[in-house]
Every structure is written in C-alpha cells, then in structure tokens.
Amino acid sequence: MHLAAAPSCRRTHSNERPVLLNLAVETNDSSATAPGSGRSVVSMDGVSKVFSNGTVALTDMSVDVRPGEFVSLLGPSGCGKSTALRIIAGLGEPSAGSVNWPLSRINARGLPEGDVGFVFQEPTLMPWQTVFGNVYLPLKLRGQSKSAVRKQVMDMLALVGLADFADAYPRELSGGMKMRVSIARALVTRPKLLLLDEPFAALDEITRQKLNDDVLMLWRQSGVTVIFVTHSVYESAYLSSRVLVMKARPGRVCADIALDPPRERDESYRISEKYRQTCELVSDALRDAMNERRLQHG
C-alpha cells in the first residue's frame, strides 16, 4: 500500500469530470481487505438532479460501487448526499444521467428486484406492530407467510441482538434498539446493497459508537455491500473501505479515498495511530472541498 497526500479538489466545468483521488494509509495488517473487484453492484453515470424550484442538487456524478465495499458519502449539509442515495434506491429520478445495476434482475420500473435495503434517518417503525411484525413487513409485502419466514425473521433479530424483544412494541424500545430494528428490517430480504442515510445522527455518542460496531459486524457476516451517508469524518474513517467526499452547490464527488482498515475494528483501533492518520486524510479532503466552495462564493 502507498500513502498519498490529498491534493485540493479543483473546480470543474460542466463538461469535465470531478477529480477522483485514490488515497490509502499504509498497513502491515494481513487481515485488511481491499475494495471490491469485478462488476459493479451499482453505478451512477453522469447523474444530475435539478429540483422543480431550480435548485441543482447534483451535477455529473459518476460512481461505481463494487461487491463487498463499505462506501461512505461524506460532505456538508446540502451537498446532495441523501439525494444521491434516494436516486440509487429508486426513490427519486435523476434529471440527467443513469443508474445501472449490472448484477441485478431489473423489474418493470427499471429498478433492481429486491436487491436494495434502505435505512432512513429515523427508524420509521409501525407503532402498532411488534418488533417481529416490523421486521416481517418486507417479506409480507412479497406475499410470504409469517409461518414460512419466522425462522428467517428471528435469525435476523438474533443477529442484531433483539431476539428477546420480538414481542415488544416500538414504544418500549430505546432509540438505539429502534434503529437496530430498522436495520434488521432492511437486511431481512438479504439484499445485495444496504443504503443507510445518517441513521445514527440523532443518537448519543456512546450508542452511536456501539451501532457503528454492530453495522461493521453485520457487514462482515452478511457480505452485503454498504453505502453510508454521514457528516462525520470520524465515523466515515472508522467504518469505510472507501470514502467519497462531496462538495455542495452543485453536489458532486471531489475526492475518492480508498482506505485499508483492519477487518476487525474495536476500541483499540479508535485510539491507534493508523486511525488517526486515516481521520487526518479524510479531514484534509473535506476541508479542501469546503475551502474551495468558500473561495467560489467569497
């Protein structure tokens, strides 16, 4: 592995691609995993989004996400992170460009058939349903009976540490537990791609760190590919095999940082020199993006 410095993001014209960087922190850890190879799980090709009020949310965004990657979208508020995630999920349409799914079966709407799980900023649980009922919902919508998938649902609840709360209602759960239910619901269909839109932003730091560890464990055990939206340099540096730094107005990727963290991460990694270096690299790239925007509007 090589250690590269992060040059400044440079301004691009409408017919010019953003500069993508490939940064890595040196490691001697043989358990570390490289970013995924082979065909993409999803690719965005020249995607732009203009809302009806004229706001340009995204411009010419091109990203390939490969199997097994944990990719974080990092950037300031208003840079289009959530808009990009919703377009990938099929919850919004691009104004220009395309989103492709090379490994998926495409349905009549042009979307991957059951291959995407989405975790929103809020847990969005049904208060009248039990924990089991909330996790069972996507399987119910597929026409699968509760008895046929009971083990599948209970296995997923066990994976997120909530098997003993299957009969509890959302009002009886803490904020962190509700988010675990939301993650279990997104994973119960065994998707190829898990999308998370700042799921831990409203939680206290201790709960947030615990859920970061839980998501890494689920990523390792399930093999799912993850795209994770966050404002936090520290969260993106801890979780990711790759960080895409975005800048705003219009939103686009200005740095593509390939990381090489150890496969197993815990509290000792949070205080390691390797993690400090990673945070510094990601922070520098984000600072460059923010400084360029100030210069453009100064």
| Per-residue pLDDT reduced to its tens digit, 217-248 | 999 988 999 999 999 999 999 999 999 999 88
**Contact criterion met (CB below 8 Å) for 225 and 194:** yes
Give residue 53's Cα distance to chain centre.
28
Q: How far is residue 211's CA from residue 46's CA, in Å, rounded to a whole number?
A: 33
At residue 201, the pLDDT reads 87
Residue 72: φ, ψ to 5° = -105, 135
Q: Where in the sequence of the chain do the CATH 3.40.50.300 domains occur?
A: 18-115+192-298
**Contact criterion met (CB below 8 Å) for 30 and 264:** no
Angle of CA points 193, 195, 196, to nearest 5°: 150
CATH of 18-115+192-298, one of 3.50.50.60, 3.40.50.300, 3.40.1190.20, 1.10.3720.10: 3.40.50.300
- In this structure, the number of other CB atoms found within 10 A of the CB of residue 121 comes to 15
Sign of the CA dihedral with 203 first, then 139, 36, and 161 last? positive
Give residue 46's Cα distance to chain centre.
20
What digits encode the pLDDT tens for the residues 165-176?
999 999 999 999
How far is the first Cα of the chain from the last one, in angstroms, to the nearest whole number?
Answer: 38
What digits encode the pLDDT tens for the residues 20-40?
444 443 333 333 334 455 688
**Residue ranges of the chain with pLDDT lower than 70?**
1-38, 108, 114, 292-298
- In this structure, the number of other CB atoms found within 10 A of the CB of residue 178 comes to 21
Contacts of residue 146, Cβ cutoff 8 Å, sequence gap at least 6? 136, 140
